[in-house]
């Protein structure tokens, strides 16, 4: 096989494209622009750290099944960690979102970075909600019976039955975590490809 043939392979093309757009020094940078100097930047990485703890505690809860935490003090503690990491996750994510809004962080070809972040927020809300209705306690009974009316009114209740524990649990532990992790990954890759949005400058021009 000639070099030209090798260069035309899908694998070769994909590797070139990935390395061009995201070379190692962009993926794992060791410097950053001096303007990235505010506490607001901490909340992005805090959101990801909290997501890691949410997933780790969720995995521990999954080992002995959805009822374990009701009868085990260790299980209850892990459930508490799961709950509080979710609270930290959402707190950090909301601060991160408002921070990025204040910076108009979609500027300079970063629109999709904003969109993936916003969609991740929505997927996370759904993940949190399905967790609340999968607790197999009074809270899940109350929240599911209250929430059904809103979802049913949109027609979504025909396929997304919040009173069906099995369906909600599967969404909570399989589909939505996958969505949240994939979306977060895409979001982070876009941040690394485009870099952190620079400050507003009043007098500037761009090439067309």
Restricting to residues 67-96, which ones interact with other proteins according to CB under 8 A? 69-70, 76-77, 79-85, 87-88, 90, 94
The DSSP call for residue 160 is -
Gyration radius from the chain CA atoms: 21
Site for other proteins in 6-25 (CB under 8 A): none
Site for other proteins in 106-125 (CB under 8 A): 106-111, 114-115, 118-119, 122, 125
Which of residues 15, 59, 142, 178 is near other proteins by CB under 8 A? Answer: 142
Which tokens go with 65?
């099944």
CB of 22 to other proteins, least distance (A): 14
Which of residues 55, 64, 68, 161 is near other proteins by CB under 8 A? Answer: 161
**Closest of 70, 93, 189 to residue 140, by C-alpha:** 70
Which of residues 152, 181, 186, 193 is near other proteins by CB under 8 A? Answer: 152
Which tokens go with 166?
């099995």
Give 10 or 200: the residue with its C-beta nearer to other proteins: 200
CB of 21 to other proteins, least distance (A): 18
The DSSP call for residue 104 is T
What is the three-class DSSP state of 183?
Answer: helix
Residues 6+ apart with CB under 8 A from 58: 82, 173, 177
């Amino acid at each position: 096989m000639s070099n030209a043939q090798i260069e035309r392979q899908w694998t070769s093309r994909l590797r070139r494209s990935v390395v061009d757009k995201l070379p190692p020094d962009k993926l794992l940078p060791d410097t950053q622009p001096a303007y990235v100097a505010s506490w607001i930047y901490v909340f992005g990485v805090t959101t990801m750290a909290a997501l890691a703890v949410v997933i780790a505690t969720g995995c521990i809860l999954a080992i002995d099944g959805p009822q374990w935490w009701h009868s085990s003090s260790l299980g209850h503690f892990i459930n508490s960690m799961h709950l509080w990491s979710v609270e930290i996750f959402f707190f950090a994510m909301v601060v991160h979102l408002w921070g990025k809004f204040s910076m108009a962080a979609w500027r300079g070809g970063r629109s999709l970075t904003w969109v993936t972040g916003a969609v991740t927020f929505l997927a996370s809300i759904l993940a949190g909600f399905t967790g609340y209705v999968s607790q197999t306690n009074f809270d899940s009974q109350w929240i599911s019976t209250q929430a059904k009316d809103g979802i049913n009114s949109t027609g979504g209740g025909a396929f997304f039955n919040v009173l069906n524990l099995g369906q909600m649990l599967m969404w909570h532990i399989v589909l939505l975590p996958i969505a949240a992790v994939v979306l977060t990954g895409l979001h982070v890759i876009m941040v690394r490809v485009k870099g952190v949005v620079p400050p507003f400058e009043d007098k500037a021009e761009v090439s067309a």
